[in-house]
Amino acid sequence: MLRKRMLTLRMGHLLRGDARLARGAGETQSPGNPSRQKRRRINVPDMDLSRINLNLLSVLYQLLEARSVSRAAQALNLTQPAVSRSLAQLRELFGDPLLVRTGNQMQLTAHGEELKRQLPPVLQQLEAFFTPGQFSRESFQGRFNIAITDYIGEHILPSLVGELTQEIPGLRLHFHLWEPGMITDLREGRLDMAACVLDQVPDDIHGRQVGSDDWACLMRNGHPLQHQPLDLSAYTQADHITISGGGDKNRLVDEALTELDLRRRIRVSIPFIEAALAFTAHSDALLTLPAHMAASLAPSLNLVIKPLPLTLTPVQYYLLWHRRTQHDPAHRFLRERLFRVLESSPFSH
């Protein structure tokens, strides 16, 4: 049933008293070809629709179904006089009695019968128009482009992706390796959302903070620096491995060193975190990572974790999307699921 809304209807000719217009019969034969039809243009401002509100549609529906003022009033939880007043308005608007008494019963006029046939789909369309969209797992068909880090893809998302592909048969997920320049892709619609490291969320982007973290330094087991404090001098004199993909994991370190008029010696740069860890396990180079990543990944390669001898701004983790998708039901469903797993995964802490 259509929700009761006191809204003035100004949307074409659906409720015009002229049944020809309601059927779209405002079409004239093209003189050159009788089989072709040309739709007559309607000047909407000239149509007197200002007195029509959507409450009358729900009353009309019940009257046409019940063929009784009293039964319609009962169905609408209104008084009988209120429904009688609405019926009088409807008769005036349509220029037709709509219901007439025949003996002890009320019968629909020909125009009433026609409206009874036309009204249900009109009500359904209007309800869909005014009702926020609902996400249906069974009927959804669509694709999402999501930027993530390789760490998130390998350690946080596998179970969620498995669940989603089972729950939503028509869902397609395309993942991309996050880079800071992809903010433009969010703005221009090439990306739907991103789970990433970011200093500050732009004003036109919605961002939900997943967490924050400090920094740590990894080295191989048996490294010459393993059994001594890692000070700033030893840190800058050592070789370093950096991760170039999946976001900015280097800038904060290098900016802090620059302020001290220091630099680190980067010997290897690679986009993939697992490869960087493997390289660290087989060399004397150091790898600087957010502390929770270091704690999660170090045991698998028997790496040693050392506190970073620098004071850095904590790294900030966000789930990002553009404001134009803020109220999209499918987008909202997916980002809520993604946020929950990002926030709760043991690899996130």
Q: What fold characterizes domain 215-313?
A: D-Maltodextrin-Binding Protein; domain 2 (3.40.190)
Region(s) of the chain under CATH 1.10.10.10: 19-130
- Residue 282 CB neighbour total at 10 angstroms: 9
The sheet with strand 304-307 has its strands ordered as 265-270, 239-243, 286-290, 215-219, 304-307
**For position 344, what pLDDT does the model report?**
86
* Overall size of the chain counted in residues: 349
**For position 52, what pLDDT does the model report?**
67
Question: Which helix (H) or strand (E) covers residue 115, if one does?
Answer: helix 110-130
List average pLDDT for each run of 10 residues in the chain, which is 349 residues long: 37 35 37 41 47 80 90 88 91 90 88 90 76 81 95 94 96 94 93 91 90 93 95 96 84 92 95 95 96 94 95 90 91 94 80
**For position 131, what pLDDT does the model report?**
63
| Model pTM score | 0.64
Separation of alpha carbons 338 and 13, rounded Å: 44
Architecture per CATH, domain 19-130, reads as Orthogonal Bundle (1.10)
Alpha helices in 188-264 (DSSP H): 232-237, 251-259
Q: Dihedral of CA 162/165/168/174: which sign? A: positive
Return the CATH number of the domain spanning residue range 142-209+319-348.
3.40.190.10
Separation of alpha carbons 133 and 90, rounded Å: 31
Region(s) of the chain under CATH 3.40.190.10: 142-209+319-348, 215-313
**For position 31, what pLDDT does the model report?**
42
